[in-house]
């Protein structure tokens, strides 16, 4: 059984991988480039569908108990 520290390290690595995966979608606004402000570019409908499939594969819904 993994220790609490190992679990925290694994969670951190997963969060870091997720953050790096979307890094290219952050676009700085030309007027705000010196402040570091901007927006996150949309991936469109197909991107949202892909995201939903990936999340469902990583975090399957709990089984229904028939109620």
Instruction: Write the pLDDT tens digit of every residue in 4-45.
Output: 999 999 999 999 988 888 887 777 666 655 666 667 777 788
Q: Is residue 51 part of a domain?
A: yes
Q: Is residue 9 part of a domain?
A: no
Contact of 27 with 38, CB cutoff 8 Å: yes
More confident residue, 3 or 58: 3
Q: Is residue 30 part of a domain?
A: yes
Task: Write out pLDDT tens, residues 36-49.
Answer: 666 777 778 888 88
Q: Is residue 32 part of a domain?
A: yes
Number of domains in the chain: 1
Tokens of 29: 């606004």
Please give the pLDDT value at position 4.
92
Tokens of 24: 């290219």
* SS3 state of residue 26: strand
Q: Is residue 49 part of a domain?
A: yes
């Amino acid at each position: 059984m993994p220790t609490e520290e190992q679990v925290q390290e694994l969670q951190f690595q997963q969060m870091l991988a997720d953050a790096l995966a979307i890094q290219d979608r952050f676009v700085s606004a030309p007027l705000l480039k010196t402040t570091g402000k901007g927006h996150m570019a949309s991936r469109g409908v197909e991107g949202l569908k892909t995201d939903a499939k990936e999340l469902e594969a990583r975090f399957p819904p709990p089984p229904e108990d028939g109620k």
